[in-house]
Amino acid sequence: MPNRPALRRFGAGVLLGLMAEQTVLFAVPLMVYQLTGSLRSSGLVFALEWLPALLAYPFAGVLADRFGGRTLLQWANVLRAGSLLLTLLLCSLAPTLAVWVLAANGALLSLLMAPVRMAVERTVPQLAPAEHLAHTQSLVQNMELLAQVLGPACAAALVLYSGKLALLGIAAMALLLAALCWRRLPDAHQSTAGQPILAALRLGWVLLRANPPIVSLALLNFSINLAFACVLSANAFVVSGVFHSADGAFGLMNSAAGALGLLNFLLVPWLLTRVSVHQLGALGFALLCVGLVCMGVATGVLGYGASFVLAMAGCTLFNVFNRTQRIKVIPRDHLGKVMGPFYLINMASYPLGGLLTAWVGHSHGIQGLILALALLLCLPGTLLFNLTTRRLNAALEASPLAMEATR
């Protein structure tokens, strides 16, 4: 049986950290757009925020294996909190440099996001027996969705009294609380902790290339994330600049998408008793494709927001499949080393999506870009999903330990 007190502390720490991220994601795009009035600036800042993470993920995976997830997350959250407090101070003292300061802060937060994601990946198998792995991964997904409810909702309410800049200080406090929640969690170390970092990095890439299901899943995630990167980098512009809605509509749209986490608490465990994890992933993939297509053709903020909620619903279900199956086919002792390059491939789509928003979306219309990427997911993406599921099934059938985890 899973350790329920440890799971509660784990979930609370994940939730607080993600709420802080959602608060920053609410405040920063609006501040950048309102300071510059430019979709191109919003896209470029989004791209700059994600580039450092690409370099950080492989190293973060090695560090997660070497030092353990708990230690890595606590240090990363303390540093993220410090970055936000310094940004708050600099923007207050030099408002004319605010865009540059926000961009630099975004780059540092991106760099530190990699250790946090790797810490969560490393800690889940330490808390969950094999037969509870899917439900524990669902808990992580639920925390992400709840954060999308609570983060923007709280930020939208607080901004009425404190202003957007003060939200960065509130996010910093949430990150420090998240670090405290994890202080008694298990902190497994790898037995080969003395392995040189470059050798560990090389081993991670070798193991990933030799694992066809993980290669296919990484490419599928890249395709999905590319579409969502364009959406996330442009949402503030579409809501405020295209449909001329108030800031509150942007917060409400994100909160409505996150409200699916409340339904997910009940729905996913129930679904997992009736359908396989692969079928759940297929349903999620179909929903996110339909939602993205509808975003591309929406003519008003209500239709756009509802389509975003649908796309996020599909992403929620797909990610339970994504998180659960990839852990089953990666050797436990090398989980961090493999997940580092895996995340690098996935997240390479985010700066690329920001650049596409800045140039293609700015020149030819952002909704047309979203629609084109959605159609690519609907056609070649479906073939890639089928290939991925076939490879995962073959790998699980060949591994008795992995099959035990599916029961």
Residue 402: its pLDDT value, please? Answer: 44
pLDDT for the residue numbered 401: 45
Q: Which CATH class is domain 4-180+197-405?
A: mainly alpha
CA distance 264 to 107: 32
Residue 46 has pLDDT above 80, yes or no: no
60 CB-near residues (< 8 Å, 6+ apart): 72, 114, 115, 117, 118, 336, 340
| Torsion 106-368-376-283 (CA) sign | positive
Judged on CB neighbours under 10 Å (0-12, 13-18, 19+), 205 is middle
Highest mean predicted confidence (pLDDT) among 133-147, 170-184, 260-274, 390-404: 170-184
pLDDT at 399 > cutoff 70? no
Q: What would the two tokens of residue 76 be?
A: 């990363």
For residue 319, give the nearest of 340, 351, 346 by alpha carbon.
Answer: 346
| Token duo for residue 334 | 């090398």
- State residue 374's pLDDT score: 92
Instruction: Give 316's pLDDT tier (boundaries 50, 70, 90).
Output: confident
pLDDT 10s digits, 225-257: 999 888 887 777 788 777 877 766 766 777 777
The string of DSSP codes covering 300-359 is SHHHHHHHHHHHHHHHHHHHHHHHHHHHHTS-GGGHHHHHHHHHHHHHTHHHHHHHHIII
Among 11, 244, 283, 257, which Cα is nearest to 123's? 11
Mean pLDDT, residues 9-36: 79
Output the average pLDDT for the chain.
80
d(CA 256, CA 248): 12
355 or 148: which leads in pLDDT? 355
Out of 78-87, 188-197, 267-276, 293-302, least confident range = 188-197
Closest by CA position to 69, among listed 157, 182, 162, 173: 182
- Are 81 and 180 spatial neighbours (Cβ–Cβ below 8 Å)? no
Where are the alpha helices (H) located in 37-68, listed in sequence order?
39-67
Query: What are the structure tokens assigned to 41, written together?
Result: 């600036």
pLDDT of residue 305: 87
What are the distances in angstroms from CA 378 to CA 220, 372, 373?
A: 12, 10, 9
Least confident of 23-37, 100-114, 329-343: 23-37
Which pair of structure tokens corresponds to residue 239? 């809501």
pTM of the model: 0.70
Q: SS3 for 192?
A: coil
pLDDT of 49 higher than 50: yes
pLDDT tens for residues 178-225? 999 888 787 765 544 556 777 888 888 899 999 999 999 999 999 999
